[in-house]
Amino acid sequence: MQDRKHTVFSILSSATEAGLEVVLLRNYGEIVDGSFRDVDLLCENFSEEIFEAVVGGQGVIVKKIKRLFFFQYCIFDPHANCFILFDIWTNLHYKGVLYFPSDKQFRILSADGFSRLDEPDACAVAIIKCLTQSGTVKEKYSDYYKDNKKAVDEVLAQSKFAHGKVGLWWLSFGFFLWALSFVSVLLSKKQLILYLLGPDGAGKTSIANLLIGSELRAQHQYHHGRIPFLPRLTAIAGKKPKKVSFGDKKKKFTALHAIYYSIDGLLSGLRLKLSRGFDVVVISDRSMYDIVAREEYRSVPMFLRRLLVATTPKPDFVFLLKASATEINARKPELPVEEIDAQYQSYDRYASKLSMLEVPTGANDKSLHIIAQYLRL
Output the pTM of the full model.
0.85
Q: How confident is the model at residue 254 (pLDDT cuts 50, 70, 90)?
A: confident
Both 233 and 337 in a single domain? yes
pLDDT at 162 over 60: no
**22 and 80 part of one domain:** yes
Instruction: Count how many domains the chain has.
Output: 2
Are residues 157 and 103 located together in one domain of the fold? yes
Q: Are residues 158 and 231 located together in one domain of the fold? A: no
Residues 173 and 245 in one domain: no
Say yes or no: 45 and 111 in one domain: yes
- Of the candidate ranges 84-88, 104-108, 118-122, the one whose mean pLDDT is the lowest: 104-108
Domain co-membership, 223 together with 88: no
Average pLDDT of span 332-354? 90
Mean pLDDT of 161-170: 50
Q: Do 42 and 114 sit in the same domain of this protein?
A: yes
Mean pLDDT of 322-347: 93
145 and 13 part of one domain: yes
Domain boundary among 158, 185, 212: 185
Overall average pLDDT of the 163-174 stretch: 50
pLDDT tops 70 at residue 78: yes
For 144-162, what is the mean pLDDT? 81
Residue 356: its pLDDT value, please?
92
The last residue of one of the domains, among 154, 185, 216, is 185
CATH code of 102's domain: 3.30.460
Instruction: Indicate the pairing of strand 82-89 with strand 93-94.
Output: unpaired
Whether 121 and 208 map to the same domain: the answer is: no
Of the candidates 245, 250, 360, 265, which has an alpha carbon nearest to the alpha carbon of residue 307? 265
207 exposure class (CB count in 10 Å sphere: 0-12, 13-18, 19+): buried
- pLDDT, one tens digit per residue, over 94-108 is 766 778 877 778 899
Look at residues 133, 161, 185 and tell me which one is the last residue of a structural domain: 185
CATH of the domain at 282: 3.40.50.300
- Quick: pLDDT tens for 286-314: 898 888 888 777 778 888 888 899 999 99
Tell me the pLDDT band of 247, cut-offs 50, 70 and 90.
low
Region 83-100: mean pLDDT is 85
Q: Give the residue numbers spanning the domain of 128.
A: 2-185
pLDDT at 166 over 50: no
Rounded to whole angstroms, how far apart are CA atoms 80 and 57? 15
Residues 249 and 125 in one domain: no
Both 344 and 283 in one domain: the answer is: yes
Tell me the pLDDT band of 92, cut-offs 50, 70 and 90. Answer: confident
Is the pLDDT at 167 greater than 70? The verdict is no
For the segment 266-271, the average pLDDT, to the nearest whole number, is: 96
Question: pLDDT at residue 169 above 50?
Answer: no
The mean of the pLDDT values for the chain is 86
